[in-house]
Structure 1
Amino acid sequence: MGTGHKIRVGLVYGGRSGEHEVSLQTALAVLKAFDYDKYELIPYYITKEGRWRSGSLLAAPPTAVAELQFDPQGTAEPGEATSSSLLPLMQGLSERAASEIAVPGGIATVDVVFPLLHGTFGEDGTIQGLLEMANLPYVGAGVLASSVGMDKAAMKTMFAAAGLPQVAYKSFTRFQWNKDREGLLDAIERDIGYPSFVKPANLGSSVGVSKARSREELASAIEEALRYDRKAIVEEFVDAREIEVAVLGNDEPRASVAGEIVSSNEFYDYKAKYIDGKSAMIIPAEIPEETSRAVREMAVRAFLAIDGAGLCRADFFLRKSDGALLVNEVNTMPGFTPFSMYPLLWQETGVSYRELLDTLIDLALARHAEKQLIDYGG
């Protein structure tokens, strides 16, 4: 990139997950916040069916979500990305820091990709793998951290290896469940007890999560969780406050102030997060200074435990009975509208939404530059 060159960002959003609409809202907010004197933006919309559509180079932000969907029946002139037009992503780019990507009317050079995809095929390591193969700089976690961050069972294993305290849990596959249901139910009752939470291992937004208070409810909850994934997790219930911390950085990450979620529902489910607006975000959390320091330090440890990069939101339980902190999970692509917890935590810490975007782009480019030092033996 020469002097005066605007950084060209390919913004990827939409996708095949159940969080498609959330991703669109995030993309609109991000596109409105970028500094167009410093950046040029190319939008890439992935439909619910998984088709890639590219928009024109943006010199000014869009005003509505409808402008981001490139409906062939609408006024936009989309570029439908077939396997051949995606080919430039996959061609020999080992000596280049930027990739040529097809857009309507020709080829554009992208300096960095910003995936704003939530859930499956977005923050699970799959698109990160595609971008790694194309040798493209991209914002956020790499393949390993993304996939571990999406698989709650693998995440808990990594946290345990890092010595991070967490609730008692048991994970198993659909095969194991079908092979020995009674044995698993016995083990869960013995080791975890009631009430307990049952979750699919790999789904975001609390879809398929149930609270079980009896053996009958437990069996039913496991069946429900296994509708959404081949692995399920049963977790101990803790009477706790929900504390969240935003992390930003690569090898030397920093943590924001802590925030607290006070849910309108029995637990912080999909409805409470995105729909009814009754959940309160208290920033900074009203916790002792010592607890605040401890949770921020633990957030950085959790980020490093999964080999995080760029950003994550780390979620904790603050147990009411004894004040113990327990790590719950990390989210490698947290909600990113100006009203989401992650940007609000940084705003309260002194980092604006636009500064966050600048920092994330810088972190992506720095991480990519470091990767160019690796000898792959070619």
Structure 2
Amino acid sequence: MKTKIGVIFGGISREREVSFAGGRTVYDNLDKSLFEPIPIFIDSFGNLVLLNWEFVYKGSIRDFYPASSDLPKSPHAFQVYAESLGDLDSREQMTLIEKIGSRLDPSRLKELIDIAFLCLHGCDGEDGRIQGLLEFYRIPYTGSGINASTIGIDKVLQKDLMSKMGFEVPANHSIERERWLDRTAHSEIFQELKKKVEFPLVVKSSKQGSSIGVSVLRDDNEEKFIEAVDQSFFIKHLKKEDWIDLSHSQKVLFVKDLCDIREGIGVPIKLGSRMIYHPEELLSILMQVFAESEEEILIEAVHGESAVLFESFISGKEFSCIVVEDDKGVAIALPPTEIRKGAEVFDYRSKYLPGLSRKITPIDVDQKKLDSIRQACENLYKQLNFDVYARIDGFIKDDGTVFLNDPNTTSGMLPSSFFFHQAAEVGLNPTQFLTYIIVTSIRARIADMNEYGSLTKLLLKVERQIEENSGSETSKKKIAVLMGGYSSERHISVESGRNIFEKLASSEKYLPIPIFLTDNENTHELYTIPVNVLLKDNADDIKEKIDHYKVHDVINEIISKASDITSKYGSKESLKAPQKISYNDLKGMVDFVFIAMHGRPGEDGAVQSELENVGLPYNGSNPGTSEITIDKFRTNEILMENGFQAASHILVHKDDWLKDQNVSIERIESHFKYPFICKPVD
């Protein structure tokens, strides 16, 4: 019987979308030969919901909860979460939940799951509360225990403890919310701060993650200081003169941004004695308030922040390091990743949107500095009594000084996260790494929950199944996952290929083999690639690694130190150097090819023809159909010839456009009225 894993995700925090996306990644990547994933969604009201599986694959929480039929009309098209429906009673909440699954009483969890895989972020997820609830019901869970989680959520407490433990800590200062709400104290607080922390400095919400509520102050400017602290406390002082200067569309945009849970202060909102749940309601009240006698108002998030931390801005290379532990509890820092970002702060957008930052693993420093980073991270992991794994961020200065920053008891679990990226460097694909996390977490709970009987049996069961499955790869159907290419869509192809690889890697039937295609329309070069290359940022990074493949000395050292982990959960082939192969070679390696390519040569019939030439089956249409559908003009012509409705169109050739643009424009304008759509033919 498979072990039932309750994937707990969502939540009430500002990071709920990161949690939802991470939960989906875990749900997909759990080894289906060992585990049965059970999706348990926590909604905006803190309800546990046994989620119908189809909702796991929605793009965001707002795409399915609350259902569109339950949303109030919004003339300004504000997008909202369930809390914007108001202070709903239990029956009303149940009505919402029944459309996506069934409500769970916490006391029933033990009947449904064997262990909880926590993908929650922020309050009620990383602060020890969910851990305490699960321990009360004697349910094991992943990651650190209650005490470490309490420390991991609180940046002010962390700084105090780290300083007392002898770690390098930047100059810092903190203030409490109640003092800040006394506006007459702002100048005094600013003067106090300047005596303790020099500019530039960083302003942070004490208990937020994903860089929410973070800003940098470069200058001695009290007005900007007040604005930054308000942002970190999730409050807004709004003056009548500023409001009335806005156009109507600007007022709508202001309210939209203010109610955003990541960039603004979120909802519900307190405005004096009034509680406001919906952006439309806020917009209406602001119109009314400033039409009367009010000159300035205070808008506060109900879910605000209790303290704000100030610390010196550190100039140096920024890194993030995942720390794990072996069977004996020895901490092992994985290769730290350097974060190269476009913005001053590695903010929410930089962390979770592709292309806004780059990851360099290991960080580009000499061996001595690398060792210093890893040793500091391992020491902090032990000093704070973390369990199973942690993500520790920091900076290293040119002189080698290491500043550790924001130790986290959990990590983002999106496919591109540090969590999977660094595990891949030592040879573990996402499915293998998640199996390691589960087994190590059961072992940790045996120690701190004093639940030796049932948990020991669970541990022995899972480890026995892992051992039994260790030779099963030979019986699985081998699937080449073909990605890359040379078109402008090659990066999207890599994302698709990784997604397919990870889903197949977690299956009971298939063994995926990642194949990268490059070069040009005349020549296809195929390469087998190891998992650490597969998880690089984009297609160009993968190509660069293929051309200059080398395993860094520190990674070899970590692989050796973590051999108990990699030998048990990994594969000998996982870090094999890229190899150039032919289509004939591919025929001898796999049973089937999954084409995960976009644009040429994956959608134009070229790859399909090559595969047919060597007798390899593949997904999708045949070469002839692919050759037609890559060409939008030809496709539309065929549709119209066969009686289908299609948009009127003309084809403008590049040579004609370059020869005389005016002639081409005249031809276009004689055929179409504005507006019209212009798109590449393929």
| TM-score interval, smaller chain | 0.7 to 0.9
Per the alignment, residue 102 of structure 2 pairs with 80
Deviation at 1:262, TM superposition (A): 0.6
Aligned position for 1:206: 211
* Letter in structure 2 aligned against 1:340: S
Equivalent residue number for residue 44 of structure 2: 48
Query: 1:270 and 1:355, CA in 2 relative to 1: closer, same or farther beyond 3 A?
Result: same
Q: 1:340: Cα distance to partner?
A: 0.5
Query: For residue 279 of structure 1, what is the aligned residue in structure 2?
Result: 357
Instruction: Tell me whether 131-140 or 43-52 shows the greater mean CA deviation.
Output: 43-52
Task: Deviation per CA, 1:54-93: give whole Å up to 9, x if none.
Answer: 046x8xx99823699876869x9754325xx33335xxxx
From 231, 249, 263, the equivalent of 1:224 is: 231
Which of these residues, 319, 324, 332, is aligned with residue 401 of structure 2? 324
- Aligned match for 2:192, one of 187, 190, 210: 187
For residue 163 of structure 1, the aligned residue among 155, 166, 190 is: 166
Residue 313 of structure 1 deviates from its aligned partner by 0.8
Q: Does 1:116 align with 2:119?
A: yes
Correspondence 1:284-299 to 2 at 5 A? 284-299=362-377
Residue identity in the other structure for 2:102: E
Q: Deviations over 1:155-204 (max 9, x none)?
A: 11221222111211111212344564444322221221111111110111
How far off its partner does 1:28 sit? 1.5
Report what 2:555 is aligned to.
none
CA distance in 1, matches of 2:59, 2:228: 37
Measured at CA, do residues 117 and 63 of structure 1 come closer, stay the same or move farther in structure 2, by a change above 3 Å? closer
Distance 1:202 1:156 in 2: 13
Amino acid of the structure 1 residue aligned with 2:108: P
CA distance in 2, matches of 1:130, 1:196: 38
The sequence identity of aligned pairs, in percent, is 27
Deviation at 1:223, TM superposition (A): 2.4
CA distance in 2, matches of 1:198, 1:313: 21
Give 5+ residue unaligned stretches, structure 2: 69-97, 235-303, 453-682
Q: How far 1:374 sits from its partner (Å)?
A: 8.0
2:318 aligned to 225, 238, 242, which one?
Answer: 242
Residue aligned with 2:17, SS: helix
Q: Which of 33, 36, 39 is the equivalent residue of 2:29?
A: 33
Distance 2:439 2:172 in 1: 38
Contact 2:335 2:422 in 1 (8 A): yes
Is the 8 Å Cα contact of residues 158 and 305 (structure 1) preserved in structure 2?
A: no
- The one of 425, 429, 449 equivalent to 1:348 is 425
Whole-angstrom CA distance in 1 between matches of 2:100 and 2:56: 17
CA positional deviation for 1:133:
1.0
- For the Cα contact (< 8 Å) 1:272–1:278, is it kept in 2? yes
- Whether the aligned pair in 2 keeps the contact of 1:55 and 1:77 (CA below 8 Å) is no
Where 2:334 maps in the other structure, the secondary structure is: strand
Q: 1:124 to 1:371 in 2, by over 3 A?
A: closer
2-structure distance, mates of 1:145, 1:70: 34
Q: Provide the rounded CA distance (Å) in 2 between the counterparts of 1:207 and 1:340.
A: 17
8 A Cα contact 1:155 1:306, kept in partner: no
**1:305 deviation in Å?**
2.3
Structure 1 counterpart of 2:477:
none
Alpha carbons of structure 1 residues 308 and 191: separation in structure 2 relative to 1, 3 Å? same
| Contact persistence 1:6–1:38 (CA under 8 A) | yes
Give the TM-score of the pair, scaled to structure 1. Answer: 0.84
| Equivalent in the alignment of 1:339 | 416
Q: In structure 2, how many angstroms separate the alpha carbons of the residues matched to 1:374 and 1:30?
A: 26
Q: 1-side partners of 2:67 and 2:190: how far apart?
A: 52
Counterpart CA distance in 2 for 1:326 and 1:358 is 32
Instruction: Indicate the SS of the match to 1:257.
Output: coil
Give the Cα separation in 1 of the matches to 2:67 and 2:174.
Answer: 46
Cα displacement string for residues 225-270 of structure 1 (whole angstroms, at most 9, x for unaligned residues):
2224120101101211101111112732211011100111122111
Counterpart residue identity of residue 220, structure 1: E
- CA drift at 1:316: 1.1
Q: Is the 8 A contact 1:248 1:310 kept in 2?
A: yes
The match for 1:262 is 340
1:9 partner SS: strand
Q: Which has the higher strand share?
A: 1
Partner Cα separation in structure 2 for residue 30 and residue 88 of structure 1:
22
The equivalent of 2:443 in structure 1 is 366
2:497 paired residue number: none
Taking a change above 3 Å as real, the CA distance of residues 193 and 274 of structure 1, as seen in their structure-2 partners, is same
Which of 2, 26, 39 aligns to 1:6? It is: 2
SS at match of 2:323: strand
1: CA distance, partners of 2:180 / 2:56: 49
Separation in structure 2 between the aligned mates of residue 70 and residue 113 of structure 1, nearest angstrom: 23
Which position in structure 2 is the counterpart of 1:136?
A: 139
How has the CA–CA distance of structure 1 residues 54 and 289 changed in structure 2, closer, same or farther, with 3 Å as cutoff? Answer: same
Kindly provide the CA deviation profile for residues 10-53 of structure 1, in whole angstroms up to 9, marking residues without a partner as x.
11011111111111211121121111111111110112332221
- The letter for the 2-side match of 1:225 is S
Counterpart residue type for residue 192 of structure 2: A
Contact 2:17 2:60 in 1 (8 A): no
C-alpha distance in structure 2 between counterparts of 1:78 and 1:220, whole Å: 40
SS at match of 2:336: strand
TM-score (norm 2): 0.48
- Distance, in Å, in 1 between the alignment partners of 2:38 and 2:367 is 43
CA distance in 1, matches of 2:10, 2:175: 31
Contact 1:172–1:233, Cα closer than 8 Å, also in 2: yes
Are 2:317 and 2:397, in contact at CA under 8 Å, matched by a contact in 1? yes
2:21 aligns to what SS in structure 1?
Answer: helix
Question: Aligned partners of 1:311, 1:65: CA distance in 2, in Å?
Answer: 28
Residue 309 of structure 1, aligned match among 381, 387, 390? 387
Is 1:25–1:65's contact at 8 Å kept on the other side of the alignment?
Answer: no
Distance 1:193 1:28, change over 3 A: same
Post-superposition Cα deviations, 1:268-308, rounded to whole Å, max 9, x if no partner, equal: 11121123532001111111111111111111111122211
Contact 2:197–2:312 (CA under 8 A) maintained in structure 1:
yes
Q: Answer whether contact 1:336 1:343 (CA < 8 A) is retained.
A: yes
Aligned residue identity for 2:106 = L
